[in-house]
Chain A
Amino acid sequence: MCKGQTAPTYTRLIDAACRGMLYRRRNSPQSTIELITVTGHRVDHDMKIWLLAGCLLFCVMNLGAQDTDAPSTHAGYVPVISGAVGYVDSISGGTPTLLPAIDPVLLVPIGSHILGEARGEFVGAFSRRNGNGDYTGQVFSELDYAQIDWLADTHVMAVGGKYLIPYGLVSERLDPIWIETFQNLPLTYSIGLQTSGFGVGGELRGVAVENNKYSIQYSAYYSAHSDKYQFAASRATGFDSSIYFSPQHLEIGTSYQRYLDDPRNVNSEATYVSWQPPQIPLDFKAEWDHGYYGQGYWIEADYMLSQVPVANRFFKNVQVAGRMQQSFPDHGGGHGVPGIQTERPGVALNYYIRDNWRIISSYERNFTSTKDTNLWNVGFTYRFVWPAWPGRK
């Protein structure tokens, strides 16, 4: 907190505010709230804006002064432009598609307790005209989230705006292109994320209990229906909760969503496991999803070859992965869930040139009752983090 700011200062400000003004509801048909002084003079619109701006500045200045870690660490709180750039050459069922992508993230802290953050997504999809002609296509742009986070307490954080729906392992955690091992999303990805994968409203999240043996995390949200451009969302509510056993590096969680738009009162559930054995560079993840349009599971194991004794400088940056998934349609499938039963085993081979540069490749085989297809992906991802404002070095 601001060292020079004392309680009497606040008291004086509040006293002055109370003495000088009060709210009065104007007796007009519009019934708007008007601010007047005790002397009866109306405060015009500009004055209201200045007063509001002053109050906000007052809060922001104090929030900025709350950086209690500043003396003990060298951490800076400048706005940040982060994100990832990627390019994937994808061949699906013999049809090649070029998929360049840029996912910029903007982080704007206000003090050390409020954070404004937004992520955009620009993805191009270019394929050959008539199968063997020139590449043609279009670029899709989307605002993934634009939210204000209030780090209210050690156990509670409040999020407002457009946010990613916390459901399962992929939506919030594994979806960014620089994180995902397989560039193709799981078959059951859309379950619990109807219809856009985003919510517009509020969310509470945090860690409920934490000790040396385990911690319990939670998030609960409510999303309103919205048709606004870049803010499309459905009315839904739900939660996600997981328990993480620290010594074992094992997490078990569950997600639930109740969809409140048409079709009304549809439930989706997910159960997931994430395990990183402490002595082995293995990352094991699995999830089971069930929703109105279908159900299914995926199991994935990623292994860094850092334990290979030969040519370790090379192999320690190599990641091999395997994934198996199945989906079973209900009510005809759709909404992202395949309409027929599908099995899709796959392998991936990624090489980390640096921690933020990655060459990626994967192969999956799609088995269905009508047609079996191959899915190939080759490309790269690059993650960047830049300060967007000068600050102390």
Chain B
Amino acid sequence: MTNRRSPFRIAVLVSVFAAGAWLSGMELFARADTDAQTAPAAQKTTERSTQKSGEQVFMQNCARCHKPPMAISPRTTGTIVMHMRVRAKLSSEDEKALLRYLAP
């Protein structure tokens, strides 16, 4: 009975590890991506960031609810922007633009 179930259990174990690897950035599968697949994404990101500056993102999203802060310590900027990304439902492109704006 144990032998009959083993493939299933191994599959479950592999799935758990695969999910963990996917959780940690999809590196396991992303490595198989070709340059052709990743290039348009990078180009798209660059295109967007040129279209929407960090200041624009800030004024359009953060300033909707509160006054702009005078200064944020760079040590904490990444954490705070993550928090604000969740709260303001920002995209990762907007998050990156904000990081470049607040901690260039």
Contact = CB atoms under 8 A, between A and B. Distances in A.
Report if A and B associate in a common complex. yes
Contacts of A23: 9, 12-13
Given A115-B82, A355-B69, A7 B27 contact: yes
Interface in B84-99: 85-87, 89-96, 99
A276 B63 contact: yes
A212 interface: yes
B14 A18 contact: yes
Please classify how large the interface on chain A is, using the bins under 10, 10 to 19, 20 to 34, 35 or more.
35 or more
Given A24-B2, A76-B78, A205-B89, A354 B51 contact: no
Interface residues of B, number: 60
Contacts of B83: 80, 107, 115, 117
Contact of B103 (A63, A73, A149, A352): A73
B75 A392 contact: yes
A179 B65 contact: yes
Contacts of B27: 1, 5, 7, 10, 62
A73 B68 CA distance: 20
B40 interface: no
A172 B87 contact: yes
A78 B79 contact: yes
Contacts of B2: 24
Nearest to B7: A22
A219 to B, nearest CB: 7
Interface string B43-75: 000000001100010001001111111101111
B82 A151 contact: yes
Interface in B1-57: 2, 5-6, 9-10, 12-14, 17-18, 20-21, 23-25, 27-28, 30-32, 51-52, 56
Given A59-B23, A73-B104, A22 B69 contact: no
5 contacts: A77-B79, A218-B89, A219-B89, A385-B80, A393-B75
> Lowest 3 CB-CB distances: which A-B pairs, in order?
A62-B24, A75-B78, A76-B75
Given A25-B5, A66-B24, A113-B25, 14 more contacts: A10-B27, A18-B13, A21-B13, A22-B9, A24-B2, A58-B24, A59-B24, A73-B77, A74-B104, A78-B79, A151-B85, A154-B91, A157-B85, A249-B60
Interface of A: 1, 5-7, 10-11, 13-14, 17-18, 21-25, 55, 58-59, 62-63, 66-67, 69, 72-80, 82, 107, 109, 112-113, 115, 117, 149-151, 153-155, 157, 159, 172-174, 178-179, 205-207, 210, 212, 215, 217-219, 244, 246, 249, 251, 274, 276, 283, 352, 354-356, 385-387, 391-393
